Amino acid sequence: MLNIPPGLDPDLLRSFVLVAEGGSVTRAALRVGRTQSAVSMQMRRLEEALGQPLLLRGSRGLSPTPHGLWLLDRARRLLAMHDEIVANFRAPDITGHIRLGSPDDYALFWLPDILAGFAEAHPAAEVEVVCLPTEELLPRFDRGDLDITLFSVGYASHHAGVEGERIWRGPLCWVGSATRPSHLMQPLPLVLSHGGCSWRQAATEALNKAGIPWRMAYSSASQTGTHAVVLAGLGVTVGLSASLPPGLRLLGQEDGMPALPELEIALVSHPGAAAEALAEHIRRGFRSPPATARAA
């Protein structure tokens, strides 16, 4: 049972989640359409209502206190339930075929919960999922071959002149074999996607900056393909921190790997009730950790 005081404004919790996740009042203010001072006031009101400090300022921005971390998990779940109730009562009947694009790098992590929730709310709608790299999804979206698409913000999206709506930001991590020390090989064998991939660009730039020699051992547009090679101990790759297959582990600075930038995921959709309904489910899904992550 969620132990949230009665009468606590969901808008305060929504702003808190955005500040805690992004480490910045300014970024949260842009997301909720308020001024920076208004969001700062919301954070003070929330701390006063709960009687505990929730955020601390450090060298990398704002981060949750222990009480803030406790609240963050529950606020995500409460907001997901709140938004689901509102959406289900306000949403029109959605029918027809919706074409959704997504890189497979994070499709398996987020999409199962999102698609299940959408199917429950709109059983008459059919969703076709197309998993391709960002640089292939965006031209398809521009041609009208996709109604809505997720994409990784980076070289490919900037080159295509696409901004989109930022819906998630989090760490990009090095991934290696749990049993074979391929990260100790020289030059470092990389297992990544092709040249236009923002993850590949982030990895190679980090290695070059750190002065670590590397070679491209294997290229694949599929995360399944990269994981198979890393599981064989033939190289290292990059990915998200959650839901790694058995046999893989995260590699950090203690393993001699340089820091990687954060990953941003964005969303674009064409006008239409069906696309907007699915887009709202996606927004809610990315605000709350998937069931697979909560169970891990």
| Domain end residue (candidates: 54, 89, 124) | 89
Q: Are residues 163 and 177 in the same domain?
A: no
Q: Are residues 246 and 273 in the same domain?
A: no
Q: Tell me which residue range forms the domain holding 158.
A: 94-168+263-295
If DSSP codes are grouped into helix, strand and coil, which group holds residue 5?
A: coil
pLDDT tens digits, 192-249: 987 667 788 889 999 999 999 999 999 887 788 889 999 999 999 998 876 678 899 9
| Domain end residue (candidates: 27, 55, 89) | 89
For residue 295, what pLDDT is reported? 42
Q: Are residues 61 and 116 in the same domain?
A: no
With contact defined as beta carbons under 8 Å apart, do 223 and 104 qualify?
A: yes
Which residues contact residue 32 at a Cβ distance below 8 angstroms, ignoring those fewer than 6 apart? 11, 14, 15, 18, 39
Domain with 210 in it: what CATH number?
Answer: 3.40.190.10
Per DSSP bridges, beta strands 188-192 and 214-219 are parallel
Give the count of domains, the chain: 3
What is the Cα–Cα distance from 29 to 60, expressed in whole angstroms? 18
Q: Is residue 254 part of a domain?
A: yes
Q: Are residues 159 and 178 in the same domain?
A: no
Q: Are residues 20 and 41 in the same domain?
A: yes
Q: Are residues 161 and 102 in the same domain?
A: yes
Residue 184 pLDDT > 70: yes
pLDDT tens digits, 69-107: 999 989 998 888 888 777 767 666 778 899 999 988 888
What is the Cα–Cα distance from 97 to 248, expressed in whole angstroms? 37
pLDDT tens digits, 128-160: 999 988 888 999 999 999 999 999 887 556 656
